[in-house]
Amino acid sequence: MNKWLAVALTLSLSVPALPTAVEDEAAFAASQAARAKGGEAFRAGDLGAALAAMEEALSFRPTHPGLLGNVAYLAASTGDGQRAAEVLRAYAALGLVPGEEIQVKVKEAVTPAAWQSLEAAFKHNTRTIGTADIDTPLPADLHLVEGIALATDGTMYVGTVVSGGIYRMKGHEATMVVDAKDHEFGSLFGMTMHDGSLYATFARVEQTPGYVKDEGQTGLAKINPTTGDVLKVWVLPDGTEGQQIADLTVTADGIIYVSDAQGKKIYRVEGDTLVAAFSHSGFMSPQGIAELKGEGLYLADYGRGIWKLDEKSGEATLMDAPTNASLLGIDGLVAHKGRLIAIQNGVNPQRIAEVHIDGDTITGITVLAQNLEGWDEPTLGVSGKDGIYYIAASQWPKYGESGAIRQGAEPPAATPVMLIRD
């Protein structure tokens, strides 16, 4: 048995549907302005003004984990333990756990009984869900693995940020198919197979070896997965300044869409060009894209939640979400057998969840996996015949500028590709 294999609690957690929270653009803008004002007051040492501003920001986005944490910390810092406890109860109701610094500050301000209740809720929220079922253990010398794709015959391909290549897996052995240095790709991100070709997004980011700010290019490459020949490349003009093509999907009609995480747009491949298909002033950090047949196209926005994209009109609509579920921090989206699966690494605990949709509304989520042995920032996944394959340990937090290990970080271990079986 592989040492990564962990026998864990084999159940999933359903979050029942509650009334949905509507976040329109006016509320979002007001919240952002108040949050900025609060941050400025905090830096100036005026905790009372900072708390008032953060409370205002939270009133517009009442299920935002970051704002809940800010209010709890500031309330505790200004002696209002009752408010701090109330806010952390709302935090726990999202199935999440605040950072250690927030917990320490609130513990100092509340009664022992109140803290005991909060601590029990946090312990419940960090329980193991699902199983750490290893499908493919990747070699330890593949550094910062981000993307994954499956060919129709089951052959697996993975893309790397620091190692700068695409690798074909056969058992435990990895063979480099594309070396990013040969094509000035920098680092590889999202990947997918389409009509026998492998498509991969590329860009230069802080962790790319030899990184120089705003230098290089970002775009999409079409690759022969057998020979590694690069068949076609689409790039955005103006290099990587304020742009980073991150993820992609191919619709049932064969249309290729890519997300620009920094430029806050969605592009569509048209001939030799990437054409802006969706742009919205409310986009914060577009990430994974997935299509549910007969339902539509969905976009994960790291800072907002899930948008529904209308291919005919070009409109993007932020989907309402239940008041007891946070949809922030979603990196990968996977369409799997008519279900929408989110890989959520921007919350604590990190988790993989099925998103339940009724028309234009998200009615709830079911957590399929969380807090598993071997996880270290899961990123992207792919639908396969046996279930959902995903990168379980990208190890982003361990890498700094030019791919160097961050000071104090442990040397990265081998990365497992895990499987959520049907």
Helix (H, G, I), strand (E, B) or coil at 353: strand
Q: Does residue 2 register a pLDDT over 60? A: no
Q: Does residue 19 register a pLDDT over 70? A: no
DSSP letter at 141 equals T
DSSP letter at 62 equals T
Which pTM value belongs to this model?
0.93
Copy the structure tokens of residue 284.
């914060």
Q: What pLDDT is recorded for position 340?
A: 98
CB contact set of 33 (below 8 Å; sequence gap of 6+) = none
Q: Rounded CA gap, 422 and 420, in Å?
A: 7
Rounded to the nearest 10°, the torsion over CA 38, 43, 45, 46 is -20
Contacts 24+ apart (CB under 8 A), 292-297: 292/335, 292/338, 292/339, 292/340, 292/357, 293/252, 293/335, 293/338, 295/357, 297/249, 297/251, 297/257
Instruction: Tell me what the mean pLDDT of segment 409-419 comes to.
Output: 91
User: For residue 342, what are the CA distances in angstroms to 36, 38, 188, 310, 331?
Assistant: 29, 31, 21, 20, 7
Q: Does residue 58 register a pLDDT over 80? A: yes
- Closest Cα partner for 248 from 346, 339, 146, 396? 146
Work out the burial of residue 414: count CB atoms within 10 Å of its CB; fewer than 13 is exposed, 13-18 middle, 19 or more buried.
middle
Q: Does residue 11 register a pLDDT over 90? A: no
Residue 91 is inside which H or E element, if any?
helix 81-93
Higher pLDDT among residues 219 and 361, named by residue: 219
Model confidence pLDDT, tens digit, residues 107-157: 999 999 999 999 999 999 999 999 999 999 999 999 999 999 999 999 999
DSSP letter at 61 equals S
Q: pLDDT band at residue 8, thresholds of 50, 70 and 90?
A: very low
Model confidence pLDDT, tens digit, residues 63-100: 999 999 999 999 999 999 999 999 999 999 999 999 99
Q: Does residue 15 register a pLDDT over 90? A: no
Model confidence pLDDT, tens digit, residues 143-172: 999 999 999 999 999 999 999 999 999 988
Q: What share of the chain is helix, strand, coil (3-state, %, to 5)?
A: 20, 35, 40
CB contact set of 344 (below 8 Å; sequence gap of 6+) = 327, 329, 330, 331, 350, 351, 352, 353
Model confidence pLDDT, tens digit, residues 356-391: 999 889 999 999 999 999 999 999 999 999 999 999
> Per-residue DSSP letters for 177-197?
EEEGGGTT--EEEEEEEETTE
CB contact set of 238 (below 8 Å; sequence gap of 6+) = none
First CA to last CA across the chain, in angstroms? 21
Q: How much of the chain, in percent, has pLDDT values that exceed 70?
A: 95
User: For residue 307, what are the CA distances in angstroms to 315, 333, 399?
Assistant: 10, 12, 30
CB 142 within 8 A of CB 160: yes
Q: What pLDDT is recorded for position 4?
A: 26
CB 300 within 8 A of CB 288: yes
Helix axis angle, 81-93 relative to 112-125, nearest 10°? 20
Helices (H), 99-257: 100-109, 112-125
DSSP letter at 136 equals E
CB 391 within 8 A of CB 417: yes
Q: Does residue 5 register a pLDDT over 50? A: no
Copy the structure tokens of residue 369.
């996996």
Q: What pLDDT is recorded for position 69?
A: 98
Domains of the chain (ranges; CATH) run 23-125 (1.25.40.10), 134-421 (2.120.10.30)
